[in-house]
Each structure stands twice: as C-alpha cells, then as structure tokens.
Amino acid sequence: MRINALLLALPLSLLTAGETLEYNATTETRIRLTFEQEAELSLVEQDVVIMVDGEEHPAGEQPDIDITMTMSETTIFTDTYQAVDDDSQPTTIERHFESLTGGYDQEIDGLPEGVDGPEPIEVASELEGQKALFVWDSEESEWTISAPEEADYDTDLLEELEQNADLSYLLSGTEISVGDTWDLEAEAFRQLLNVSGDAGMVPVDSEDDEEGEDDLEEEWDSELFRLTLTGVAEGTATIKIEVDISRHKEGEVEPPPMPEGMDMEPPTITEIEDLQWVAEGELLWSLADHRAISLQLAGELTRESGGTQEMEGPMGSVNIEQSQTFEGTFSITITLEEAAEEE
C-alpha cells in the first residue's frame, strides 16, 4: 500500500514509446524569451595574389598583424498569445521587444606606430520598446506582421521579422522514444541563429539609417544537424544537438568611385564569405507545458572571407584575389520562461 501511494505521488516523467513531443499554447500563454549569441575569432591566415595578363606578380610582404574579433547580441522579448486554434496552435501573437542590443570589436596588434585600430561598434534597433502583431493566414500558410495603432517606428522594419520564437521547428513531428534521432535541414539552423528574424540592428553612432546588409546570394549546406532524445526526467525531455553546417555567400558589389582624373573603368568586385559552425548542445522541452524551456549550443566557428577585383589598366588585365581565414568559438543561449501579466 505504501509503495502504491509512493508511485502515485511520482511525477509523470517518462516519455512512453510512441509519444510525440508537441508545442501547444493557450490564450493565457505569455512567454519571455532571452536570446544571447557570442563569438570570438582570430586571424590565422591571409593571402593576396595579383595576376597581370595571366601572370602572377609579387604582392609584396604582407603586414605581420594579429586580429581578434568579438561579437555579441542580446534579444529579449515577450510573446502574448491572443488567439489559438482548435489544435492549440497560436494564430495571433503580440510581441513586445524589450531589449535589442549588440556589439562588435576588433583588436589589432602589429599596426604601424601612430595608427589606431577601429573603435568598438555598438548596435541597437528602433524596435526596442515597441510591439509587433503576428497573425496566421491559414489560406496562405504564413504569418502576416503589422504594427499596432500606437506604434512609433518605421514599419519597414517588420518586413524581415519572423515568428519563429517557440523553437517548435526543432521537433521531429513524429512519434519518438528515448534514444531516437532525427535530422533537420540547414534552414532550421538559420532560424536558430536569427530568433525573431532581422530586427534591424544598426550602429548606434551611425548617421546612416540603413543596416548595410549586402545583397550577396547565400547558400546553406548541412553536413550534420542531428537531434537525439537522450532522456526524460522530472517532466523535462533532454534533446542533444549536433551541428556541422556551412553558409556560402557570393556576389558582385558596387565599386568605390574612381579618383578624379583617372580615365579608366571601375573594377568589377566580387565578395565571398564562407562560415562553418561545428557545435554541440542541448534543448530542454517541458512535457507538461508543451514548450521549450532552454537551448544551449557552443562550438567552433570558421570564417573565410575575401574576393576578387578585375580591371583593365595601363599594365593590362589585372586580377587581384584577397582572402582571410579566421577561427574561433561561438555560443548561443536561449531561455524561455513564463512572463507576468503586463501592467
């Protein structure tokens, strides 16, 4: 009798065979999400190749410098679910952006005497302190985003936002048991790096309102994006995350104006950037609340950037290829917690 009473008192913490991890919501759901991303990269290799009429010419001795880049981003917002459908999926969400901050810094050792390195850059968004409304369009199977009547910001900032804050796109969508694995496409990792989409972060001291995003075409590739249900305890499912994903960006960019008096066509400039993330982490999912609790991911990040300049000049056809390789680490931390009612 005592054993039976003890068993009845235990929480339902085991995910039985054939269960499905789900995301559900109610009109009483208010979730505060905190997204933190950090990276530190150091220059490990650089190269310059100059070709004139197909023949390689010496580029001269490259400066012996050490470059370390650090980047950080913090996004905090609260989602209030104003309407859900019969399947407990949200159809109307009000998102209140509480904090949108970040920064970028470069430390350069080996610069000539009297030459200063770049100043740290602080970024922020006009959406901080503002709200946006996400409404599900069932006919188009997409979210429409609008600003409330009292909004005081450039509504063009809404165009790059995404609803993807609940992390439900990381679930398998099928029946699973402890030990089961499932693979996701690189698009899911792109969403993970951009919780809520592009919130229009720009340098705080910049006179230009544009963020300066490039128009390079990008292509994502997933060598590995695997999730494994490793265990269930105290009503929480633990899911291991393994990542080996790369992104390639390439395209022509507008050249700078030619110096006055120089009678020649501007060069054709192509920029290239390759990023690779190799990492491990875990996702915690509440079985009782049917939602994500937290996600942590950390590992190695490699960045290869460069490009080419092609031009016709007095020396003939000139092609300059430049490349830099940075290696380092990155981390992502996401926490989701119930938010108090808005006063």
Q: Give the least confident one: 17-21, 179-183, 223-227.
A: 17-21
Residue 173 DSSP symbol: S
Give phi and psi for 9, each to the nearest 5.
Answer: -80, -15
d(CA 40, CA 331): 9
Summarize the confidence of residues 264-275 as an average pLDDT: 88
Do the Cβ atoms of 297 and 281 come closer than 8 Å?
yes
Asked if residues 77 and 342 have their Cβ atoms less than 8 Å apart, the reply is no
Of 97, 161, 162, give the one whose Cα is nearest residue 126: 97
SS3 340: coil
Range 280-284, long-range pairs (CB < 8 A, 24+ positions): 280/240, 280/241, 280/242, 280/243, 281/240, 281/241, 281/243, 281/332, 282/230, 282/238, 282/239, 282/240, 282/241, 283/167, 283/170, 283/227, 283/238, 283/239, 283/241, 284/236, 284/237, 284/238, 284/239
- The residue among 39, 26, 35 whose CA lies nearest residue 303 is 39
List Cβ neighbours of 311 (8 Å cut-off, separation of 6 or more): 264, 265, 266, 267, 268, 317, 318
pLDDT above 80 for 31: yes
Give the C-alpha separation, 8 to 29, whole Å. 29
pLDDT, residue 52, reads 84
Range name among 39-48, 239-248, 252-261, 298-307 with the lowest pLDDT average:
252-261
19-28, 100-109, 117-126, 243-252: least confidently modelled range:
19-28
pLDDT of the residue at 110: 78
Is pLDDT at 4 greater than 50 in this prediction?
no
Is the pLDDT confidence value at 7 over 70? no
* Backbone region of residue 179 per phi and psi (left: phi > 0; alpha: psi in -120 to 50; beta: other values): left
The answer to whether the beta carbons of residues 282 and 299 sit under 8 Å apart is: no
Q: In a 10 Å sphere around its CB, with 0-12 CB exposed, 13-18 middle and 19+ buried, how is residue 41 labelled?
A: buried
Query: Which one is predicted more confidently, 343 or 213?
Result: 343
Contacts of 61 (CB under 8 A, 6+ apart): none
Quickly list H helices, the chain.
Answer: 2-9, 186-193
Q: What is the pLDDT of residues 111-164, one digit of tens each?
A: 777 777 789 999 999 999 999 999 999 999 999 999 998 888 999 999 999 999
> What backbone phi and psi angles, to 5 degrees, belong to 8?
-65, -25
- Cβ contacts of residue 120 below 8 Å, gap of 6+? 103, 104, 105
Segment 296-341, tens digit of pLDDT: 999 999 999 998 888 887 767 888 889 999 999 999 999 999 998 7
pLDDT score at 206? 65
Q: What pLDDT does 205 receive?
A: 79
Mean pLDDT of the chain: 87
